[in-house]
Amino acid sequence: MTRLLSLITLVLALATPAFPQGIQQTKGSFSDKFRQLDEVLPTANSYRNAAGQPGHEYWQQQADYVIAVRLDEAARHLSASATITYQNNSPDSMEFLWLHLDQNIFRKDSMKELSDDFGGSGGRGPTAAAPTGREPAKISLGELRRQQGFDDGDYGFEMGAVTLEDGEPLEHSILGTLMRIDPEKPLGPGKSLTFSIAWAYDIHEQDAIGGRAGYEHFPKDARKGGNDIFLLAQWFPRMAAYSDYEGWHNKEFLGRGEFTLEFGDYDVSITVPDDHIVSSTGVLQNPDEVLTEAQKERLSVARSAERPVFVVTPEEALENEKSGPGGMKTWKFTAKNVRDFAWASSRKFIWDAQGYQQPGAEMETVMAMSFWPKEGGELWRKYSTPSIIHTMEVYGRFSFDFPYPVIQSVNGPVGGMEYPMITFNGPRTKLQDDGERTYTMSEKVFLVGVVIHEVGHNYFPMIVNSDERQWTWMDEGINSFLDSVAGYEWDPEMPWTRSLARDLVPYMISGNQVPIMTQSDSILQFGPNAYGKPSAALHILRDTILGRELFDHALKTFSQRWKFKRPTPADFFRTMEEASGVDLDWFWRGWFYTTDHVDISLDHIFQLRLDTEDPDIDFTRSREEEEDKPTKVGVRLNEEAGGKTWVERHPDLTDFYDENDIFTVTNKERNKYQKFIKELEDWERKALQRAVKEDKNYYVLEFSNVGGLVMPIILELEFVDGRKERIYLPAEIWRRNPKRVRKLIVLKKGDELAHVMVDPDWETADADIDNNSYPRKIIPSRIEAYKDKRSGLSNRDIMKDIKTKIEKDEDKKTDSTKADQ
């Protein structure tokens, strides 16, 4: 425990970016919240310019693959060979090339395995607990199964030959999950290299060992030996990315941070048992060889259908589960301009499809397809393909028309994962004792939510190709924001779990926090950091700061600029400003580079009235103010006691000063006033006279910034007559004093303020509602409010109570103790 805490402290020290707040002040405590970000962001250049656009010399590499792969179902073994053509579009000469061999993470001696912290934060797999002073070590059955899985298997790539086109061997070295290729001569700018690799590996059981792919076994299926679902991802040697801003993106795969790859074209031939159904990135090139007439016909109908059409019905899939293959079949897929390739295969799949129409778009019809075993049940039939289509409808408005010809959702052991044109999603139904398959409301929310999210990832980062290893938030944050928009457009009543700004408050006030702009492997509280907080920030930017028109236009600009290209956070920040026309550096700096939270306090309201300078008016007012003051306590007590004062006992000794008070006006004052008025400039006199006539109410509101983040101040003014009005003060109000500001509000005569509330709709993630209210109101805590609610109206069982009969007088005498709870 102490070790974990001290590690956290150490990480915070290491992870602090240099001067996110600008130059440290040594005199006074001014901090420049509105400092422009230019000095923090990377210098703009001809590859990515200062406007956040790809520069006029933008380049990116390309990697094309021709792969033949064979699945040995019984042995759960994959063997394959590929010809890779790597195109060097950079101005650089490349002495070596890097590839990812991700399956090697499952080797017993992988860096991930060796560095696994027993009893600490587990990886993707099961839990274990190190011994503490009082308790013995614990190991979960899941962790035992994982270790046994490792014992039984021999995972990782078995590499075959690596050769050039002419068969000459190509020098290469394998380092963990990376491979380096050393061509004889450096690969010059504009040149390409074609080489071949052969490999094989054992597919691991996903439930046991974890990971983003693998097989799942179904022993209870009506077939000797049961059935498997195979999900294949990270299954081939993939070219690592090489960029203008980082060079080779070659870091050991440790299981957590995902990453980025190059766009390219794929031709993949997948040989599987001939009774399997294959779902894959890309378009099927040889339906005549692998599909039945009925299946081809149904696909054709599905292209223009308005509801999903079965290509393989549940009955057919059930039958197919029992069968055995007669031999093998080869499914050929072609995919253009994708950054990765994944596929799935099983004889268990039910398959449905529906065409999504995008008239006028570069891809007019996109085939949305779902694949699921009977265990997915009605939940999948009803909601999977419709969720895919809904995602394209919503995301298309914010970015671009879906450019790929297919998009799929496949049910298997993986909970949720994205690849170009194919996603793996985990929700299942439960088989009840009566043979029915049921699902809970939560499982439904999970299915619709995860399909939207994973399909959404096709836009970010599969097409807008950000580097997830470096900046997890760029795809997870933007995608979480959009999936919540899509969720609320599906059904705002559904209990979505995506956070609103107010839900982020506990995270934003917490101690063990790092800024959003932190490298992926160092992030603490990963979910709120990379998914929740960026999503909330974007909602605030959209609904509160920029407004939907400006925001939507800016996000669309960013998406379209970087479609099929490689953006960085700087490109996003710059584009959003350029396209919206609003300076947002304070916003990015505060929300993305610091761990400040929002807490704006309304400290005082002063009510003021203009002095007219005219003694006949002002002196009278002063007298009224004096008379309005409470009577002095001593004087009141004297009166109550009944005694008479000296002046009351000697009325004949009064003089001028007894009849006139300090507020009596004399001509001396009046002359002074006239002289003052005469000496004014014309415009001064006019302004004064008008102000006197209008007699407005002046209020000065004092705010302080307790949380650190400068934010716009949204005010709800409540008037004495009950009316309410809203005022929006832009965040720039804090630019010269980020700690305290005052605002003058001028209201017309007769409009008197009764109460003012800051952020009445809880838009800004303000952490303390107590100080938002002036005069202060007592805001009940969450539990106080819950107790109040519980004893009130909403606790009635209305369904039951509505059957209660009307009581007649005779009944009342006998039923006197009926409680009205």
Find the binding residues for another protein in span 488-517 (CB under 8 A): 495-498, 503, 506-507, 509-513
Strand, helix or coil for residue 358: coil
Integer Cα distance of 167 and 312 in angstroms: 43
Q: Which stretch binds another protein (CB under 8 A): 59-67, 157-165, 436-444, 650-658?
A: 436-444
DSSP 775-808: S---PPPHHHHHHHHHTSGGGS-HHHHTTPPPPP
Task: Work out whether 440 is an interface residue with another protein (CB under 8 A).
Answer: yes
Task: Work out whether 132 is an interface residue with another protein (CB under 8 A).
Answer: yes
> What are the backbone angles phi and psi of residue 161, rounded to the nearest 5°?
-70, 145
Structural contact between residues 242 and 249, judged by C-beta atoms closer than 8 angstroms: yes
Q: Which stretch binds another protein (CB under 8 A): 268-276, 284-292, 440-448, 713-721?
A: 440-448
Near another protein in 147-186, by CB under 8 A = 147
Class of residue 251 by CB neighbours under 10 A (exposed 0-12, middle 13-18, buried 19+) = middle
Indicate the DSSP class of residue 771.
Answer: G
- Closer to another protein by CB, 292 or 512: give it: 512
* Binding-residue total with another protein (CB under 8 A): 105
Q: Which of 35, 124, 303, 556 is close enough to bind another protein by CB under 8 A?
A: 124
Residue whose tokens read 């949720």: 416
Structural contact between residues 278 and 341, judged by C-beta atoms closer than 8 angstroms: no
> What are the backbone angles phi and psi of residue 4, rounded to the nearest 5°?
-60, -45
Structural contact between residues 349 and 370, judged by C-beta atoms closer than 8 angstroms: no
Task: Work out whether 79 is an interface residue with another protein (CB under 8 A).
Answer: no
Task: Work out whether 793 is an interface residue with another protein (CB under 8 A).
Answer: no
User: Binding marks (x or -) toward another protein, 701..740, rule CB under 8 A?
Assistant: ---x-x-----------------------------xx-xx
Q: Which of 351, 531, 587, 593 is close enough to bind another protein by CB under 8 A?
A: 531
Task: Work out whether 136 is an interface residue with another protein (CB under 8 A).
Answer: yes
For helices 548-561 and 377-398, angle between their N-to-C axes, nearest 10 degrees: 90
Task: Work out whether 784 is an interface residue with another protein (CB under 8 A).
Answer: yes
Amino acid letter at 659? Answer: E
Near another protein in 259-318, by CB under 8 A = none
Near another protein in 598-637, by CB under 8 A = 603
- Closer to another protein by CB, 55 or 416: give it: 416
Task: Work out whether 340 is an interface residue with another protein (CB under 8 A).
Answer: no
| Cα distances (Å, whole numbers) of residue 568 to 21, 349, 649 | 21, 39, 90
For helices 472-490 and 377-398, angle between their N-to-C axes, nearest 10 degrees: 110
Near another protein in 631-690, by CB under 8 A = none
- Closer to another protein by CB, 513 or 559: give it: 513
- Closer to another protein by CB, 432 or 821: give it: 432
Smallest distance from the beta carbon of 11 to another protein, in angstroms? 6
Near another protein in 4-33, by CB under 8 A = 4-5, 7-8, 10-11, 28-30
Task: Work out whether 450 is an interface residue with another protein (CB under 8 A).
Answer: yes
Q: Which of 328, 445, 680, 733 is close enough to bind another protein by CB under 8 A?
A: 445
| Cα distances (Å, whole numbers) of residue 102 to 345, 346, 425 | 20, 23, 21
Integer Cα distance of 673 and 651 in angstroms: 35
- Closer to another protein by CB, 124 or 303: give it: 124
Strand, helix or coil for residue 117: coil
Q: Which stretch binds another protein (CB under 8 A): 120-128, 197-205, 359-367, 662-670?
A: 120-128
- Closer to another protein by CB, 156 or 456: give it: 456
Q: Which of 750, 786, 788, 807 is close enough to bind another protein by CB under 8 A?
A: 786
Smallest distance from the beta carbon of 680 to another protein, in angstroms? 29
Q: Which of 34, 41, 52, 126 is close enough to bind another protein by CB under 8 A?
A: 126
Q: Which of 73, 86, 101, 125 is close enough to bind another protein by CB under 8 A?
A: 125
- Closer to another protein by CB, 454 or 759: give it: 454
Distance of CA 688 to the CA centre of its chain: 54
Please name which of 605, 597, 602 lies closest in space to residue 710, comparing C-alpha atoms. 597
Q: Hey, which bits of 637-775 come out as E strands?
A: 697-705, 713-719, 724-729, 740-747, 753-758, 773-774
Q: Which of 56, 135, 167, 651 is close enough to bind another protein by CB under 8 A?
A: 135
Smallest distance from the beta carbon of 704 to another protein, in angstroms? 5
- Closer to another protein by CB, 42 or 506: give it: 506
User: Binding marks (x or -) toward another protein, 409..428, rule CB under 8 A?
Assistant: ------xxxx----------
Smallest distance from the beta carbon of 203 to another protein, in angstroms? 19
Task: Work out whether 112 is an interface residue with another protein (CB under 8 A).
Answer: yes
Smallest distance from the beta carbon of 6 to another protein, in angstroms? 11
Smallest distance from the beta carbon of 271 to another protein, in angstroms? 28
Structural contact between residues 376 and 417, judged by C-beta atoms closer than 8 angstroms: no
- Closer to another protein by CB, 641 or 783: give it: 783
- Closer to another protein by CB, 92 or 443: give it: 443
Distance of CA 271 to the CA centre of its chain: 39
Near another protein in 455-474, by CB under 8 A = 457, 472
Q: Which of 111, 159, 283, 688 is close enough to bind another protein by CB under 8 A?
A: 111
For helices 472-490 and 533-540, angle between their N-to-C axes, nearest 10 degrees: 60
- Closer to another protein by CB, 172 or 597: give it: 597
Indicate the DSSP class of residue 240.
Answer: B
Near another protein in 241-270, by CB under 8 A = 254-258
Integer Cα distance of 484 and 539 in angstroms: 10
Smallest distance from the beta carbon of 344 to another protein, in angstroms? 16
DSSP 242-278: EETTTEE------SS----B--EEEEEEEEEETT-EE
Task: Work out whether 434 is an interface residue with another protein (CB under 8 A).
Answer: no
Residue whose tokens read 């619709």: 448
- Closer to another protein by CB, 115 or 664: give it: 115
Residues in the chain: 821
- Closer to another protein by CB, 295 or 499: give it: 499
Q: Which of 12, 130, 328, 747 is close enough to bind another protein by CB under 8 A?
A: 130
Smallest distance from the beta carbon of 590 to another protein, in angstroms? 15
DSSP 452-478: HHHHHTIIIIIIB---TTT-HHHHHHH
End-to-end CA distance of the chain: 48
Q: How many CA atoms lie within 13 A of 306 on its CB side?
A: 0
- Closer to another protein by CB, 644 or 790: give it: 790
Please name which of 532, 537, 659, 651 lies closest in space to residue 590, comparing C-alpha atoms. 537
- Closer to another protein by CB, 43 or 794: give it: 794
Beta bridge partner(s), residue 717:
725, 756
Near another protein in 224-243, by CB under 8 A = none
- Closer to another protein by CB, 650 or 800: give it: 800
Task: Work out whether 791 is an interface residue with another protein (CB under 8 A).
Answer: no
Near another protein in 347-406, by CB under 8 A = none
DSSP 556-608: HHHHHHTTTB---HHHHHHHHHHHH----HHHHHHHHH---BB-EEEEEEEEE
